[in-house]
Amino acid sequence: MTSVGLEDVLAWLREAAARIEEQREYLTQLDSAIGDADHGINMSRGFKAALERLDSNPPEDIAGVFKAVAMALIGKVGGASGPLYGTMFMEMGKAVDGKDRLDAADLAAAFRAGIDGIKARGKAEEGDKTMIDALEPAYAALQEAVASGGGVDVAVSAAAEAAARGMEATIPLVARKGRASYLGERSAGHQDPGATSSHLIIAAAAEAWGS
């Protein structure tokens, strides 16, 4: 697959919502160890709201899809996750404004904009035991795929694998940002729930757009 269009992006988000719902209890379980024990519940509510918004008022372009998702997540997801994921999708929408199809380079650029938005809002860096630990490796894999001439399917598959490694790498880390940082050394030994939901969202793209 060399590029994706509006329907492909919608298919991705439906797959992401399904995966979030399927893993809702697991995400909450992870969050109960180092957070407020509500990440799965909040993410499920947010993605359900996003699908409802997309179904009730279908966007005419890809940028509109990302903006609609952003507004739903900001409005429905509690804690830090709503504003952070909302910012990510909002910035992704700005990055693809006017495009009716996205190739791997477009996706990488959108992803970069989304990550930069999260980092500006949350002030987290790689190694802080947050969603950034899954997102940055995923972006690096996207970039590598673009450089080697890979299509969208190859790029998102590599991104999903990298996000999984980044997610798992949060287990030994001591949290330096967010609620988990209050635990200090006790936050080590637990997988970060935000990195986990980020991996689920990226893995959904690999599933939806896989060859």
Domains of the chain in sequence order: 3-209 (1.25.40.340)
User: What is the distance of C-alpha 5 from the center of its chain?
Assistant: 19
Integer-rounded Cα radius of gyration of the chain: 16
pLDDT in the model for residue 63: 98
In contact, 104 and 155? CB cutoff 8 Å: yes
The dihedral formed by the CA atoms of 102, 61, 120 and 71, expressed in degrees to the nearest 10: -140
The DSSP bridge partners found for residue 201 are: none
pLDDT in the model for residue 15: 98
| 10-residue stretch averages of pLDDT, the chain, 211 residues long | 95 98 96 87 96 96 98 87 95 97 97 97 93 98 95 96 98 80 76 97 96 56
Give the CB-side neighbour count of residue 27, counting CA atoms within 13 A. Answer: 25
Separation between Cα atoms, residue 6 and residue 115, nearest integer Å: 22
pLDDT in the model for residue 18: 98
pLDDT in the model for residue 179: 67
pLDDT in the model for residue 182: 63
